[in-house]
Structure 1
């Protein structure tokens, strides 16, 4: 013997019938909070903000790094470091 019952109701009607709470207001508030956080984090993805984050000193720091690189390369090209030439 096989018995089947089909119930045609909306999710809200089923929730009410089963005594479950209505979580729609909480879901709406959470979705709004998620949207606000995503929008605020998108502003950090702007090129100018990324540049400031990656290079806080800016162009001056980049120039210092280049000078250090070239001084190391010129010492290596001369055949040794400055500590060997002092000995």
Structure 2
């Protein structure tokens, strides 16, 4: 038996369904501060230093999410939280 399920939703709707936080305002504030520092020519300013923690966490979070989804679809348990 094969069952296909299709969801037609926007990224915003998917974010809400998955219970993910809305970080758009945070990103806009971060970008505004970064642009302010870049425009003022602050000495020693490194824009990548702002994004480095976000990039590391984002990549790890996405790979963890993909692993979790694959485990759920294949019916396998990841072994976490079980004794």
Q: Same fold (TM over 0.5)?
A: no
Q: Which has the larger radius of gyration?
A: 1
TM-score with structure 1 setting the length: 0.42
TM-score with structure 2 setting the length: 0.44
Name whichever structure is richer in helix by fraction. 1
